[in-house]
Structure 1
Amino acid sequence: MNNEKHILTYKDDVNLKRGDIIEPSLIEAIERSSLYVVIFSPNYATSRWCLDELVKILECTKKYGRKMIPVFYGGVTPSHVRNQEASYADAFVEHKAKFPNDEAKLENWKAALKEAADTSGFDSQVTTYVLMVFFKRVYWPESHLVKEVTKRVLEAIRPNSSPITEGLVGIESEIEAVDKLLETDPQRNRVIGFWGMPGIGKTTLANSIFQKIDPDVFEGRHYIPDFAVQLKTKTVKDLQNELFKVLLRDDNPQDIAFGHKLSRLRRLRAFVVIDDVTSASMQALEELLDWKFCNLFGPGSRMILTSTNQQVLINACQEVHQVPGLDEEKALQLFSFYAFKKDQPPDEYKERCEKVVAYCGGNPLALRVLGVAFYKKKLDLWDMKLEKLRTLHKKDIQDLLMISYNELSRDEQSAFLDIACFFNHESYDFVTRVLDEDLVTNLADKSLVGIDYSKGKIEMHVLLEDLGQDIVEAETDPQKRTRWWEVKDTLDLLAKNKVNIEFIYISFSNSNYLY
């Protein structure tokens, strides 16, 4: 059900043995979650781990104002949980014998169970019971309970003010403009393109719109991030199977005949976003969708493509929306948010901030990165930084970002280049086994690297990735260049030169250079 309604869920480790101490990773997941669904089964109270988890959940509901939805399942009633009756009574007899000198912990668990039982939730015996027919009880199937719980979850995570756009300066007006494009010809399929320079906010806008789409309106939704990047490690068939799996809600779409899949898709109202389409990836896009954009999905379907190449979108879309830079007022607000953690700068800094904003040209990425670079800096240091800005003859965003790069320590610069050349989109755990974790988090604090905790991945903006690779490629002497990642270049280098190389990282997945 969570896949059908596109709810991002975290399920604790089903392989963890009963009674094990709660894992730090689970504590972190609870801290980050916005909603909690607790299933009280007959054996729930036998696990010390589950009880500790419940205490932590209740702590977060109070600390962050979050909601918890209890579900009383398998014959368990709220009374059993509230008063530790039936199997819950037996469980606490065992806990008391196991922890005779830890009465405080036992009382803490009991208090947590009572509080949870007093919270509005679902009693499976009540929810599935329908009525008496000829003195016989009739029940809905358990799937009805799942649907009711899902409905409650959706209601809980759709607050009046959308958290999607919180802190995204200037995004609301852009969403309104795009909504008008999406609402045009509601019974016909439409493909909309988002075009603009790197860092201007195309991906942010596309993601914001995708997140706010009502899943009850579109029967299938799918988001493909970093399309051009994914093609380096995945085949078109891989991406197509992922697309069909999500839209058709089928775990094994490859087992279905292609013609049958197309037939099902043409009856489906879908919403699909494909981010970062390049001229080089256009052929793959044609293969992915059979280039039948308007006929592939059911009536009223919508697709958004993002690209820095306007011609790519003109050829593929009915309408292209240019994502503009922020105006001076919004740009100052965004820069101030990162430089001062306020909507507006202090009076004594305002003139200097306006100069920075002018150099950024309304580019949100530049404003964010430079805002972090100026954070907590005294006036005299601001003047030094502004002097560096004045030496720039071009408004090229990479030149602006170089200011932040040049102020990194040598070790931080090395880690930045490693991530840009080798580790973007890789697992956070993997990267921090190779690189010092403090260096990675330092780069994240300076907005030079992103950490997607929900996916456990390193996510560096493509503009910053290009910057790092350009820095390395500027080492024109092959014998002095320290990092290589393209297969052909690396093999040619090793064949022709004797060099001292710090790092080679090659993916052979889509390469013709296998030996």
Structure 2
Amino acid sequence: MKAIEKSQIALVIFSRNYATSRWCLNELVKIMECKEEENGQTVIPIFYDVDPSHVRNQSESFAVAFAEHELKYKDDVEGMQKVQGWRTALTAAANLKGYDIRDGIESEKIQLIVDYISSKFCKSDYSISFLQDVVGINAHLEELKSRLQIEINDVRSVGIWGIGGIGKTTIAKAIFDTLSHQLKAACFLANVKRKCKKESTSFFTKYPSL
């Protein structure tokens, strides 16, 4: 439950037997509670081998599972309240925008989900927030973006040249944090230096998509 509270995003993967697990249902209730908080997490339902309407309306296999839950708690008021909470959470989650991966190539559907999450949540918020206070950083970033031409599928290197201590690595890290989420793979190598007497160079290299 603590892990759920500290998460920015929750992927809820619904299968035919999802509702048979009281543990899963309790976690779902917690997830939906966290969503409703002031800085609520993003919840994305994934419908794996199950119709979204079956989840939303607790029908088909979900109806069977809930019949068993209600039989178990039929003489327990608190238990029946818990069952109703599960129903409410399922309906709310199934009404959210998500992914139905029953049809098509499963790996491609999964890649779409990964790409979406990467584009939204894998940026370095600390670095971007910190760099907003660096005077003149935006002009440098725009210049680098125009030279990198990230939309072109080829190899491109841009060198940032100047005397030590003027912020070359800072600019390279800033452009990495800004653009790396658009690439399928990215790595920032810091403190890689070439021995020079007075000047040094930082590089940002973009490779084509694999």
Q: Same fold (TM over 0.5)?
A: yes
Displacement of 1:52 in angstroms is 1.6
Residues 30 and 193 of structure 1: CA distance in aligned 2, closer, same or farther (over 3 Å): farther
Tell me how far apart the structure 1 counterparts of residues 4 and 157 of structure 2 sit (CA, whole Å). 40
Give the equivalent residue in structure 2 for 1:50. 24
Give the equivalent residue in structure 2 for 1:322. none
Give the TM-score, by structure 2 length: 0.70
Unaligned stretches of 5+ in structure 2? 150-154, 205-210
Matched, 1:30 2:4: yes
Residue correspondences, number: 193
Give the equivalent residue in structure 1 for 2:129. 166
Q: For 2:85, which of 108, 128, 147 is the aligned residue?
A: 108
Q: How does 1:351-430 map to 2 (within 5 A)?
A: none
Tell me how far apart the structure 2 counterparts of residues 175 and 29 of structure 1 sit (CA, whole Å). 36
Displacement of 1:98 in angstroms is 4.2
**Coordinate RMSD, CA, aligned:** 3.8
Residues 78 and 183 of structure 1: CA distance in aligned 2, closer, same or farther (over 3 Å): same
Per-residue Cα deviation, 1:345-385 (whole angstroms, up to 9, x for no partner): xxxxxxxxxxxxxxxxxxxxxxxxxxxxxxxxxxxxxxxxx
Displacement of 1:106 in angstroms is 0.9
Give the equivalent residue in structure 2 for 1:180. 143
Residues 48 and 317 of structure 1: CA distance in aligned 2, closer, same or farther (over 3 Å): same
Give the equivalent residue in structure 1 for 2:109. 145
Amino acid at match of 1:111: T
Counterpart of 2:46 in 1: which secondary structure? strand
Residues 170 and 143 of structure 1: CA distance in aligned 2, closer, same or farther (over 3 Å): same
Q: For 1:120, which of 78, 85, 97 is the aligned residue?
A: 97
Q: How does 1:186-197 map to 2 (within 5 A)?
A: 188-192=156-160, 195-196=164-165
Residues 193 and 182 of structure 1: CA distance in aligned 2, closer, same or farther (over 3 Å): farther
Counterpart of 1:213 in 2: which secondary structure? helix
Residues 206 and 55 of structure 1: CA distance in aligned 2, closer, same or farther (over 3 Å): farther
Give the TM-score, by structure 1 length: 0.32
Give the equivalent residue in structure 2 for 1:212. 178
Amino acid at match of 2:177: Q
CA contact (8 A) 1:165 1:171 kept: no
Answer with 1 or 2: which has the greater Rg. 1
Displacement of 1:79 in angstroms is 1.7
Counterpart of 2:11 in 1: which secondary structure? strand
Deviates more, 1:172-181 or 1:65-74: 172-181
Displacement of 1:173 in angstroms is 3.5
Residues 99 and 167 of structure 1: CA distance in aligned 2, closer, same or farther (over 3 Å): farther
Give the equivalent residue in structure 2 for 1:94. 68
Displacement of 1:141 in angstroms is 1.6
Amino acid at match of 1:90: V
Tell me how far apart the structure 2 counterparts of residues 82 and 152 of structure 1 sit (CA, whole Å). 24
Q: Which runs of 4+ in 1 moved over 6 A?
A: none
CA contact (8 A) 1:175 1:209 kept: no
Unaligned stretches of 5+ in structure 1? 1-26, 129-139, 223-272, 283-309, 320-515
Residues 219 and 191 of structure 1: CA distance in aligned 2, closer, same or farther (over 3 Å): farther
Amino acid at match of 1:165: I
The structure showing larger relative contact order (alpha-carbon pairs under 8 Å, at least 6 residues apart) is: 2
CA contact (8 A) 2:131 2:174 kept: no
Amino acid at match of 2:185: G
Tell me how far apart the structure 2 counterparts of residues 144 and 193 of structure 1 sit (CA, whole Å). 41
Q: How does 1:55-94 map to 2 (within 5 A)?
A: 55-63=29-37, 64-74=39-49, 76-94=50-68
Amino acid at match of 1:70: P
Tell me how far apart the structure 2 counterparts of residues 163 and 154 of structure 1 sit (CA, whole Å). 16
CA contact (8 A) 1:40 1:73 kept: yes
Tell me how far apart the structure 2 counterparts of residues 141 and 92 of structure 1 sit (CA, whole Å). 31
Amino acid at match of 2:165: G
Per-residue Cα deviation, 1:47-90 (whole angstroms, up to 9, x for no partner): 2221122112111221124322211111x112211222222222
Tell me how far apart the structure 2 counterparts of residues 58 and 313 of structure 1 sit (CA, whole Å). 57
CA contact (8 A) 1:34 1:67 kept: yes
